[in-house]
Structure 1
Amino acid sequence: MNTTPEIRVLHLLDGAVRARGVAVIIDVFRAFSLAPYAFMQGAATLFPVGTPEEALAMKAADPALLLAGERDGRPLPGFDYSNSPAAMRRADLAGRRLALRTSAGIQGLLAAGQAEEVITGSFVNAPAIIAWLRNRAPPRISLVCMGWNGSERTAEDEACAEFLTAGLRGEAPDLEPIRRRLRADPSGAKFFDPARPWFPAEDFDACLQLSAWPFVLRRGRDEKGRLCLAPVPVPETARISGERYSGEDLPAPGALTGKRDEETGKQE
């Protein structure tokens, strides 16, 4: 029996639906960069929510609940926070519960119903993601690039999938060239457009840094059966040397191979 884990790269909302094995739902700009910051700021629980209306109804029933999110990148009326990771890392969330509604990452998280396990993906905790996956060595890994609104591919999510794949194969990917490339790409340039203040420049930097945070965020259910994200500790995370990730202190990964679409021969 072939026990070599496969890495399959999928795209957008359809990719989330098709994800199998362990799914990594990637949303660099910005939902799954924000989520790790929220837990680092003390959040107790994060509830993924599909619509603004659902989030507002939850808050009406539980006024202590904090709401964060966006629609088409813009802040939502009645929400406590936008989808800004930079703002989240300044927030005092000690012991607070947070509901997050976004147009790409959260939708993918909710759509990945066929995956055995689901975690979030971004650069900010990429070393922990790599360490966790290499420790587990699941038969199949689905890297799902959610893109813009789950319907249009974006450079940052594709780059994150490439970064994770390289790390899983025992390579030492460097973030700095990715940062420079994204700064010139429309997906990154929007953070420096004065006409779009809902994309603050500081979010670009907050989303494009590596952290040694020793956890991944896994989809699960709380004690009341509600869907939630919770941090899962990673015993041994990747070592950071400047802006370069080094996998030398990780468990041996074994052989991992890229998986291409059987019907088209192209990467999914």
Structure 2
Amino acid sequence: MDARFLGIPELVEAPSVAVVVDVMRAFTVAAWAFAQGAEKIVLAGSLDDALALKVRHPDWAALKDGPPAPGFDFVNSPGLLRSADLTGRTVVQKTTAGTVGALAVKEASLVLCAGFVVAETTARLLRARGSDGVTFVVTGEDGRAEEDLACARYIARRVTDEAGTDAAGFLRRAAGSRAAAELTEGVRQGAHPDDVALCLELDRFPFAMVVTSEDPLMVLRPRAVPPPADGASN
């Protein structure tokens, strides 16, 4: 598999297959939303778009980066979201980097959103598809975020080296990232003390997350990925 690792500003054309990585915290939060019962997540292009969707659909839950704000039900924190009951609900998500990256590759034939919490299922889906080329969109810090690069490279290795990739070094790299430090030190608002640990939980959830166009919306949904037929752990 030919893997490319690009920041959002480097995306000059739509890739065939894209994996959009935001470890801290957009796609860890998305995975938690599905674990808490959400049916789907609508990726909003702006805060105004998110609020407009909320007005049209009052039963939807709106989520954003930063501190709480009028019109939004939740903030972009897995530690704060894990106690929410989202059974059957639609979540509208707008974040600084993750949702921007996903919308930037919306023309791709397959768009996956990922973090460490769904790393193995994401790799397994890519293996099953057998794609020759995959573009990993490293959303944080214009493609330089250590936690996103570490996760992207780990998933890419898992696709091609099923049995021999140790996650420990990749997780250490993510734990030492600028984003982890800012969350730990309270620099980022709308955070919970457990956020970093939750973002570094490897393979917490048994699904991958796939973006599809449901005109005019881009919608993220969980997709179950069966384990290998022999039951072996890859």
- 2:21–2:137 Cα contact (<8 Å) kept: yes
Unaligned runs of 5+ in 1: 238-246, 251-268
- 2:28–2:78 Cα contact (<8 Å) kept: yes
Match of 2:43 in 1: 48
Read off the aligned partner of 2:158 and give its amino acid letter: G
In 1, the alpha carbon distance for the partners of 2:139 and 2:117 equals: 16
Greater mean alpha carbon deviation, residues 156-165 or residues 173-182: 173-182
Q: SS of the residue aligned with 2:41?
A: strand
In 1, the alpha carbon distance for the partners of 2:154 and 2:128 equals: 17
- Within a 5 Å distance, the mapping from 1:122-133 to structure 2 comes to 122-133=115-126
In structure 2, the CA distance between the partners of 1:87 and 1:234, relative to structure 1 (3 Å rule), is: same
Match of 1:118 among 93, 111, 116: 111
Greater mean alpha carbon deviation, residues 179-188 or residues 26-35: 179-188
Shift of the alpha carbon at 1:212? 5.1
Aligned residues: 232
Larger radius of gyration: 1
Q: SS of the residue aligned with 2:209?
A: strand
Query: Is 2:201 aligned against 1:209?
Result: yes
Match of 1:7 in 2: 3
Greater mean alpha carbon deviation, residues 129-138 or residues 192-201: 192-201
Instruction: Give a deviation string over 1:49-77, Cα, whole Å, max 9, x none.
Output: 0111111111111111100111xx44444
Query: Is 2:170 aligned against 1:178?
Result: yes
- 2:147–2:175 Cα contact (<8 Å) kept: no
Match of 2:15 in 1: 20
In 1, the alpha carbon distance for the partners of 2:152 and 2:68 equals: 27
Unaligned runs of 5+ in 2: none
Read off the aligned partner of 2:128 and give its amino acid letter: N
In structure 2, the CA distance between the partners of 1:75 and 1:230, relative to structure 1 (3 Å rule), is: same
In 1, the alpha carbon distance for the partners of 2:217 and 2:176 equals: 40
Q: SS of the residue aligned with 1:95?
A: coil
In 2, the alpha carbon distance for the partners of 1:166 and 1:160 equals: 10
Shift of the alpha carbon at 1:81? 0.5
Query: Is 2:149 aligned against 1:158?
Result: yes
- 1:128–1:212 Cα contact (<8 Å) kept: no
In 2, the alpha carbon distance for the partners of 1:18 and 1:10 equals: 11
Task: Give TM-score scaled by structure 1 length.
Answer: 0.79
Query: Is 2:217 aligned against 1:226?
Result: yes
Shift of the alpha carbon at 1:160? 0.6
Instruction: Give a deviation string over 1:85-108, Cα, whole Å, max 9, x none.
Output: 122222100011110001111011
Read off the aligned partner of 1:66 and give its amino acid letter: A
In 1, the alpha carbon distance for the partners of 2:170 and 2:133 equals: 26
In structure 2, the CA distance between the partners of 1:189 and 1:212, relative to structure 1 (3 Å rule), is: closer
Shift of the alpha carbon at 1:199? 3.3
Read off the aligned partner of 1:64 and give its amino acid letter: D
- 1:127–1:212 Cα contact (<8 Å) kept: no
- Identical amino acids, percent of aligned pairs: 33
Read off the aligned partner of 1:141 and give its amino acid letter: V
Match of 2:55 in 1: 60
In structure 2, the CA distance between the partners of 1:211 and 1:187, relative to structure 1 (3 Å rule), is: same
Task: Give TM-score scaled by structure 2 length.
Answer: 0.89
Instruction: Give a deviation string over 1:121-179, Cα, whole Å, max 9, x none.
Output: 2100001001111111112211111113xx36211001011111211121543333333
